[in-house]
Structure 1
Amino acid sequence: MSQLRGTTRQYWVAIRAMIVLTIALGIVYPLVVTGIGQLAPAQAGGSLVHVDGTAVGSSLIGQSFTDKKGTALPQWFQSRPSAAGAGYDGGASSGSNQGTESKDLIRTIKDRQAAIAKSDGVAVGAIPAEAVTASGSGLDPQISPEYAREQVARVTTTRGLEESDVAALIESMVRGRALGYLGDPTVNVLQLNIALAQLDRND
């Protein structure tokens, strides 16, 4: 009889422990973490960027500024290419995994160089490497200030803006190296294009 009571007591202790842990780890902990996350909405909410109350993208994930056929829209600054899924797919983050000797990669780079040289009116040698190659993640939202500056003539001609105004806009959007020495200066393409649209509207 005492053995039965001992077994029953063990079951009851286990059930109580399960209930307490379920409440603590399944309800209280997620609520606390969610509450803390709301104090840093850029990290917890996907870093969404809103214009006039409408989400237009993420500050941490790049996007294409092309038409339905994939042709670059000349009135916008262009992002670097993406090999993530169909392009900037957060669920398929990856590079192309093609080596420097890959004939497909070489052909793709030459095609991209020719397209940019034609649209931007620049020599192939003036086109930065990032303009024709995808990043390792395929999600980079930034380009170099050099690539942004290279696109100024096309954008201003298409929009009828002053080159000096757009050039100054780019410089105001340049973000320096992390901690002053990590990485390279960058320009967030989505944020640049949003500022460009505002400049065009006010012109």
Structure 2
Amino acid sequence: MDRMPGWIRQHLAALRALLVLTAVTGIIYPLAATGVAQAVFNGNANGSLIEKDGKTVGSALVGQNFTDADGNPARQYFQSRPSAAGDGYDLTSTSASNLGPEDVLDTLAVPGATDEEGNPEEGQQSLLTQVCARSRAVGEREGVSGTRPFCTADGVGAVLKVFPAVGTATRAVSVNQACPAAPFIAAYEGVKVECGTPGEDYSAGRTVPIRGQAVAVVPADAVTASASGLDPHISVAYAELQAPRVARERGLDLATVTALIERHTTGRGLGFMGEPAVNVLELNLALDQG
């Protein structure tokens, strides 16, 4: 061995180090960590899975949609918040929309236009219009007002493009309301407001969101997705908004449903972080158990 060339000894030492580190970090440590997790946190380590009648129906850590055979929200169940993960709560596509508060302008679909695959062009909704449309839908489902600030009555962002960008207005366009829709306000600074023409370039104008007089009844988490797109919880306010519908659809007393909400409400983290929240899957399973 002493007569072995130096470069061979170096390679053998490197190989021994590789094998030892592979065994320690790739086999021994993972097995030890897994063993401790299974012994101490068995349920959590296995994904906090929830079973019903011996069948896994979901996880306490991952939200899901509650829909009927046609894909519409099932009226007898509490509904989760929106999700931007794939088609909704897709574990393989966990993500947020990456849209921010400045995203207020829609791309209106041009009638007769098609995309690269030959499908009819659908345009693109801004975050503001998505929020407005969701709020309107929730309001209709729950029998309350779905209006909110910066939203039109028909559920799009209440945004004008004003020309010129600087100085006295000579033209104003409700850019998120495609013609022949009636603009949500008749005039702005003495100028008649026009509906938006699909395909027209309004980029030179000044963007002016209009707050209006509406007061939001629908909670924020009912109209916005979480950062992961997998949040299993909703706010207590959103749960209480849905309670009358669920009670009515199931023929239950509202007090019974409210008590179930309270039973499945978790407090703030460490007593001070965040807000109390309701796990939707656990609440719906409790409803099914009667």
Give the TM bin, normalised by the shorter chain. 0.7 to 0.9
Shift, 1:67, TM fit? 2.8
Match of 1:178 in 2: 269
Report which stretch shifted further, 175-184 or 100-109.
100-109
> What fraction of aligned residue pairs are identical, expressed as a percent?
49
Matched, 1:140 2:231: yes
d(CA) in 1 for partners of 2:138 and 2:2?
Answer: 85
Cα distance in 2 for partners of 1:72, 1:2 equals: 77
Aligned twin of 1:59: 60
Which residue identity does 2:142 align to in structure 1? D
d(CA) in 2 for partners of 1:21 and 1:180?
Answer: 42
Larger CA deviation: 137-146 vs 122-131: 122-131
TM-score by length of 2: 0.62
Measure the CA separation in 1 of the matches of 2:270 and 2:257: 27
Are 2:194 and 1:193 equivalent residues in the alignment?
no
Whole-Å separation in 1 of the counterparts to 2:14 and 2:135: 67
| Structure-1 residue corresponding to 2:139 | 117
Greater C-alpha Rg: 2
In structure 2, the partner of 1:94 is 95
Query: Which residue pairs with 1:34 in the alignment?
Result: 34
The 8 Å contact of residues 136 and 145 in structure 2, kept in 1 or not, is answered as no
Q: Secondary structure at the match of 2:144?
A: coil
Distance apart, 1:15 and its partner CA: 4.8
Structure 2 equivalent of residue 130 of structure 1: 221
Cα distance, 1:6 vs. partner?
A: 6.7
1:106 and 2:128 are equivalent in the alignment: yes
Aligned length: 199
Bigger mean CA offset, 134-143 vs 76-85: 134-143
Q: 1:58 to 1:4 in 2, by over 3 A?
A: same
Q: Matches of 1:111 and 1:12 in 2, distance apart?
A: 66
Contact 2:50-2:58 within 8 A present in 1 as well: yes
Deviations for 1:11-45, whole angstroms, at most 9, x for unmatched residues?
Answer: 65555544444433333222112111212124321
Q: Which residue of 2 aligns with 1:77?
A: 78
Amino acid paired to 1:34: T
CA deviation string 1:80-101 (max 9, x = no partner)? 0001111112232222122334
SS in 2 for 1:81: coil
| Larger relative strand fraction | 2
1:184 positional shift: 0.5
* Cα distance in 2 between the residues matched to 1:140 and 1:25: 32
Deviation by residue 1:151-202 (Cα, 9 ceiling, x = unmatched): 0111111111111111111112111111111100100101111111112xxx
TM-score normalised over the length of structure 1: 0.86
Select the structure that is richer in helix. 1
Return 58-67 or 16-25, whichever deviates more. 16-25
What's 2:241 paired with? 150
Q: Deviations over 1:56-97 (max 9, x none)?
A: 111111111113543100000000000111111223222212
Give how far 1:111 is off. 2.1
For 1:23, give the aligned amino acid: A
Structure 1 residues 19 and 162: CA distance shift in structure 2, 3 A: same
For structure 2, list consecutive stretches of 5 or more residues without a partner in the other structure.
107-124, 147-215
Change in 2 beyond 3 A, CA 1:51/1:5: same
